[in-house]
Amino acid sequence: MTLKNGRAITVRCKTPDDGEALGEMLASCSERTYYFFHPYPLTRESGLKVAADDSIVCFIAFAEDGTAVGYVWIGREGEMPTLGICVRDSWQEVGVGRALMERMIAEAKNLGKKGIQLTVMKDNARGIALYQSVGFVIDGDAPDPVGPSYHMTLGL
Ligand SMILES: CC(C)(COP(=O)(O)OP(=O)(O)OC[C@H]1O[C@@H](n2cnc3c(N)ncnc32)[C@H](O)[C@@H]1OP(=O)(O)O)[C@@H](O)C(=O)NCCC(=O)NCCS
């Protein structure tokens, strides 16, 4: 698909071989992104672990040169899995997050999930706007030692 900045991405399911690409993306993320994305470590090791993790369903967005520019995942088990998402700093706000969310929601429906849940910091206006635009609702506060956060759910 083509993004708002005119560049193209491909979104596909992760494979065990995607660890280095994911790790490189995570290691490149800014402090600001880490603040919103915590508690997941932004390291190569974390990328390798995600790629090898069979307990999650995960999609990765790749640029044309093979660089990983974002990823999204949910837990494979349970009726209402938790979602996590991160987009590479230089690719934020051009539609990568929306593309990943739409793909993951479609997959969660295919898998027969009853819904998806997530936690987002209250000052993450971009994240909250994206989640609400695809149907998530705020259903309360979430405990988070880093700062005030919402719990959001999407019924499927
Ligand atoms: C949050 C995140 C996943 C969103 O992905 P993204 O690719 O940057 O977002 P998109 O470009 O797909 O879409 C964001 C939407 O929010 C809107 N938006 C952007 N900035 C906004 C702001 N400050 N306030 C309100 N809405 C905003 C955009 O207009 C867009 O809507 P549109 O498609 O109708 O124009 C990404 O920015 C990210 O990884 N951030 C850092 C880590 C993080 O926050 N992870 C999630 C933790 S819960």
Here the CATH number for the domain that contains residue 47 is 3.40.630.30
The closest-lying atom of ligand 1 relative to the alpha carbon of residue 121 is 48
**142 is a domain residue:** yes
Per-residue pLDDT of 2-21, as tens digits, reads 998 899 999 999 999 999 99
| Domain that includes residue 144, residue range | 9-155
Ligand 1 binding pocket includes 85 (Cβ within 6 Å): yes
Q: How far is the CA of 128 from the centre of ligand 1 (A)?
A: 8
* Cβ 85 vs Cβ 117: under 8 Å: no
CB count in 10 Å sphere of residue 60 = 24
Does residue 48 have its Cβ closer than 6 Å to ligand 1? Answer: no
Write out pLDDT tens, residues 66-80.
Answer: 999 999 999 999 999
Tell me how far apart the alpha carbons of residues 42 and 38 are, in angstroms, rounded to a whole number.
9
For residue 1, tell me if it sits in a domain.
Answer: no
Residue 113 CA to residue 117 CA, distance in Å, equals: 11
Provide the domain count of the chain: 1
Whether residue 4 is contained in a domain is answered as: no
For residue 99, which atom of ligand 1 is closest to its CA?
Answer: 12
HSE-CB of 26 using CA atoms within 13 angstroms: 25
Which residue type does 6 have?
Answer: G
Please report whether residue 135 resides in a domain: yes
Closest ligand 1 atom to Cα of 92: 8
In this structure, is residue 2 part of a structural domain?
A: no
Q: For 112-144, how does the pLDDT look when each residue is reduced to its tens digit (9 = 90+)? A: 999 999 999 999 999 999 999 999 999 999 999
Residue 107 placed within a domain: yes
Going by C-beta distance under 8 Å and a sequence separation of 6 or more, which residues neighbour residue 11?
A: 1, 59, 60, 61, 62, 99, 100, 103
9 in contact with ligand 1, CB cutoff 6 A: no
Query: Residue 134 falls within a domain, yes or no?
Result: yes
